[in-house]
Amino acid sequence: MTVLLIALGAALGAPLRYLTDRAVQARHNSAFPWGTLTVNVTGSFVLGLLAALPAGSGAMAFAGTGFCGALSTYSTFGYETVRLVEDGARFYAVLNAAASVAAGLGAAYCGMAVAQAISA
């Protein structure tokens, strides 16, 4: 049953990642990967929220592992950062790495804070 919940969550997260990435990137005429940053920060926020809520194992499998796992994407982040270096955009590569880590951690913290505020 857990595998099915993960697959269902991923079936929602993956297309949402693609659509969000394309929509965000279409609005920015820049080599910087704004779309990937957006989905990764969003996934971090949602996962932080879920981690701080009293969610059961089924909810965590569906939303945490499935949905957030498919919504956020470390592999694309890594690929795009390397591509920026290869294209000579080292500043954007460093900015992408630093912003992704800092914003992801900050978003997870904010998600946890929101969860604690609404469950208090």
What does pLDDT average to in each consecutive run of 10 residues of the chain (120 residues)?
A: 96 97 94 96 96 90 96 95 97 97 98 93
Domain total for the chain? 1
What pLDDT is recorded for position 55? Answer: 80
With tokens 């997260």, the residue in question is 13
What pLDDT is recorded for position 54? Answer: 83
| 72 known ligand binder | yes
Distance of CA 55 to CAs 6, 47, 83, 116, Å?
A: 15, 11, 38, 13
By residue range, what is the domain housing residue 92? 2-118
The pTM is what? 0.92
| 100 known ligand binder | no
